[in-house]
Structure 1
Amino acid sequence: MLNYRILNTLRRPGLKADEDQNCGSYLVCDQRDKSKTKYVMKIIDLEDFTNLNDFIRDILWYKQLNHQNLMSLRDCFLIDTKLHLVKPYASFGSCTDLLFAHPFGVREQLIAHIMWQLLQALRYLQDRHVMHRGVSSKNIYLCDDGRVLLDNFSHCISMISPFDGRLRRQIYDYTDDLKDELLYLAPEIIFQNAEGYNFKSDVYSLGSVACELANGSNAYLDMPFGHLSMLYAKVQGSEPILLDQTQLTDEMIALSDENSSAYVEEIKKRRYSKEFHSFVKSCVSTRLESRCTVDDLLTHPFVKHPRKISNDPQLVAEDMAKLLGSYKDKQITQMSTTIDQILDRSNNEYNSINLSWEF
């Protein structure tokens, strides 16, 4: 702890300053590091928890996994009853933070870059027979060097049976913790039927995130009757779609009001490529046999540009950083604020789950 200097406190709404001392997130730098690289430190008082298995499991996953598009755990130590977890700081925050600043969605080119890097992360996990089961906008972080990091391994599960060591084609595990990802979960996970689910379920979640980044919000957010309507829609075969001028109907225009009229006007102006529509359709099909695999998506025309320059990781990062930089400039110019202030405001609005790291 003495090696880390606290630069700022990432406060949760409703918590007083003295409560933050017991459990909170901090922006820190390592005093031994001359580059003064920023990190996020989360301090958790273990006395407040009766079951520590989740923390142990998460730390073990971080130690087992190592990929440039997966969030890493830089440091982990215990002082008295307080667990300290140190991770890289992503200055652009999560994809949810990006959408908070751009509620009508972000550019297709940026989404293609994000999808390409996430596919690399999923490919790495699948090579190790691991399902993520938590691919969602709040668990995807954007660094200023152009890297995209997939975080939160609390829902990860191995496809290798713990009983006989054999590789399973399908799994049937469902825990109450998965309810946190209901908006992004594939229908087959929610159904909990005898057919089970597999790696393609992560692909469905990926497609949901792509739609959310393009549309500005999740397709199943704020539905009447909450999660019940969402569950019913997925059971009935509803699939997320990209909202652009090709999908805008007279009914949508007629139902728009003062709150949604600006969004409808935005939809009228934009037209996504047929490759993007095809990519999303390939991801979110409710039928497993029609849904693409990660390998299929890695050769999809939608990610043609990042794939073309993928032999040079530095070039990919620079291209991605350039796209993110345009958003940063736009935010500073139009909103007269910095990206850190945007993250702080998003943190206050969304109970901090979007700003810092989920453990």
Structure 2
Amino acid sequence: MVRSCMWSHRLMSLGSCRDVLDRYFQEGLPELACAIILRDVLFALQYLHKQLYIHRSVRASHVLLDINGCVKLSGLRSAASMMVRGRRHRQLHNLPPPDHDNANLMWLSPELLEQNLKGYDERSDIYSLGVLCCELANGAVPFADVPTTLMFTEKVRGNRPQLLDCSSFPEPLDDGEMKSMYNTDSGVGDSAEGVCRLRQVFAARKLSEPFHHLSELALQRDPERRPSATQMLNHQFFKQIRKTDFLPSLIGRVKPIKPDANDISALLLQEKMSEMDIEKQTEWDF
């Protein structure tokens, strides 16, 4: 069963992965939790790609969690169909609808940002998944503190984010470089103590070789060298997941979001949604 699916209008009570990272796991999620989340996101992408859609906005803030262990991929307003005027296209050339602060650019693939004659296809989502790997494991948003022009240039040149542990942690770095690379504004703070703690956490931990390999595969500069979502699901990294593994128990410190009783707008929205005639299970398998 694809647990990243089954559209319904109930609240995803643990919020987004970005919420969880900012509030509880500034240094990144446990590796097994990353594996479960990434597997379920890949199930959603596998379905979308079979339906000839490209998501174009895979990132932690669009991955939603609930207390039942369900993982859902949202952000479908940026999705684009490979069917244009009744014809299937092998590549697209248009950019996704711009966010109000261009926040989505950090996750987009080099070929999508280039907007050249080659265009892009569903493998651009796999690159975004690679960025998501680093976001979940490191806690920080890759490229967050890099100027847009520099970020674009670095991606086109083939530079990419990486999982941070004792094997990949660059040494030595001064405090300013640490702040720039690891986005210490996301809950850690700009203090010397916060930077030092990040240095210690990343340098002391060891992520598995399959995890490193998975992220490197997804972040290949050449889209032709990236696996499909189906091929990614067969990667050794996901073999560590057992049927008894339960995502909420792996992130047990995360508390469900409680609606604010004083928030009238939320109450009105909840009332409207309860009146909507939406089946809890449909053909849509997100």
> Normalising to structure 2: TM-score of the pair?
0.78
**Equivalent residue letter for 1:241:** Q
2:116 and 2:110 map into 1 onto residues whose CA distance is: 10
1:204 and 1:270 map into 2 onto residues whose CA distance is: 25
Residue matched to 2:173: 252
Coordinate RMSD, CA, aligned: 2.2
- Does residue 88 (structure 1) correspond to residue 10 (structure 2)? The answer is yes
The equivalent position to 1:321 in structure 2, one of 238, 248, 270, is 248
- Shift in Å, 1:175: 4.4
- Shift in Å, 1:339: 4.0
The equivalent position to 2:198 in structure 1, one of 263, 285, 302, is 263
2:96 and 2:56 map into 1 onto residues whose CA distance is: 11
* SS of 2:172 mapped into structure 1: helix
1:153 and 1:261 map into 2 onto residues whose CA distance is: 38
* SS of 2:111 mapped into structure 1: helix
* SS of 1:141 mapped into structure 2: strand
Question: Structure 1: which 4+ aligned runs deviate by more than 3 Å?
Answer: 253-257
2:239 and 2:96 map into 1 onto residues whose CA distance is: 37
* SS of 2:93 mapped into structure 1: coil
2:219 and 2:153 map into 1 onto residues whose CA distance is: 16
CA contact (8 A) 1:139 1:150 kept: yes
The correspondence of residues 330-345 of structure 1 with structure 2, limited to 5 A, is 338-340=255-257
- Does residue 140 (structure 1) correspond to residue 79 (structure 2)? The answer is no
> Normalising to structure 1: TM-score of the pair?
0.63
Residue matched to 2:126: 203
Unpaired segments of 5 or more residues in structure 2? 179-190, 261-286
Residue matched to 2:232: 297
Residue matched to 2:90: 169
* SS of 2:88 mapped into structure 1: coil
Unpaired segments of 5 or more residues in structure 1? 1-66, 75-86, 310-314, 329-337, 345-359
Greater strand fraction, Structure 1 or Structure 2? 1
1:183 and 1:106 map into 2 onto residues whose CA distance is: 20
* SS of 2:164 mapped into structure 1: coil
The correspondence of residues 1-359 of structure 1 with structure 2, limited to 5 A, is 68-70=3-5, 72=7, 74=8, 87-101=9-23, 102-162=25-85, 165-177=86-98, 179-223=102-146, 226-252=147-173, 258=192, 259-306=194-241, 309=243, 319-324=246-251, 326-328=252-254, 338-340=255-257
**Equivalent residue letter for 2:136:** L
Structure number with bigger Rg: 1
CA contact (8 A) 2:3 2:40 kept: no
* SS of 1:113 mapped into structure 2: helix
